[in-house]
Amino acid sequence: MNFQEKQTFWSWWMIILMIFLLLSTVNFDLFNLLRGDFSEINFNPGFWIVVGIIILFSFIRLKTTINEEGIAVQFFPFLLKTRFILWSQIGHLYIKDYNPIADYGGWGYRNGNEGKAYNTKGSVGLQVIFKDGSKLLIGTQKKDELSRIAIQVNQEILKMENNKIIANPLDNLS
């Protein structure tokens, strides 16, 4: 069982929006540009703000890796260290359709009514419910592949982990 997904905030509509914002913040005379005179181009402060946003969004990456040991999540620059979740910490997991704005207040590194969320786009995620009751949603663009892995993990790994706890409760005392 190996799963890996890398996501960014970029989508076709974000690229079009950023191009529109960049063009709307540049002062120029179209007739001078058509004649090859670029000396009249002025960049106002809004242009540099949009450039900064583009640079920031270019660095943001959500990487999810699932293997036999657990789930590793990197969400640069929000999580500077990889968060590794062992199977023994998880009670249950499943694929969830959610409303990013209503449930978590948007996209990114979020704390919402439904717990924490790491998401970049879309409205589908891997819902992790920890044994202590806390929740973490990890956004995905690979719903079908991750759904098969979640079923496998619940049936094979988490069932075995939960049976260990029930079978020998004295092991937890030491």
Q: Which residues is 124 bridged to in the sheet?
A: 97
Would the pLDDT of 25 be above 90? no
Please give the average per-residue pLDDT across 54-60, as a whole number: 91
Q: How confident is the model at residue 28 (pLDDT cuts 50, 70, 90)?
A: low
Backbone dihedral angles phi then psi of residue 9, each to the nearest 5 degrees:
-80, -15
Amino acid 163: pLDDT: 60
Would the pLDDT of 10 be above 70? yes
Backbone dihedral angles phi then psi of residue 47, each to the nearest 5 degrees:
-60, -45
Q: How confident is the model at residue 166 (pLDDT cuts 50, 70, 90)?
A: very low
For every residue of 89-139, DSSP letters joined together read GEEEEEEEE--HHHHHSSSEEEEETTEEEEESSSSEEEEEEETTS-EEEEE
Look at 104 and 39; give whichever has higher pLDDT: 104
Look at 13 and 164; give whichever has higher pLDDT: 13
Amino acid 43: pLDDT: 73
Alpha helices in the chain (DSSP H): 12-24, 30-34, 45-59, 100-104, 143-152, 159-167
Amino acid 126: pLDDT: 96
Q: How many residues does the chain have?
A: 174
Parallel/antiparallel/unpaired status of strands 115-119 and 108-112: antiparallel
Q: How far apart are CA 91 and CA 23, in angstroms?
A: 50
Least confident of 1-15, 36-50, 73-87: 36-50
Whether the ω angle into residue 77 lies within 30 degrees of 0, i.e. cis, is: yes
Percent of the chain at pLDDT exceeding 90: 55
Nearest CA to 128 among 102, 165, 152, 95? 95
Q: How far apart are CA 20 and CA 29, in angstroms?
A: 17
Average pLDDT, the chain: 85
Mind listing the pLDDT tens digit for each residue in 114-164? 899 999 999 999 999 999 999 999 999 999 999 999 988 888 877 766 665
Least confident of 6-10, 11-15, 23-27, 102-106: 23-27
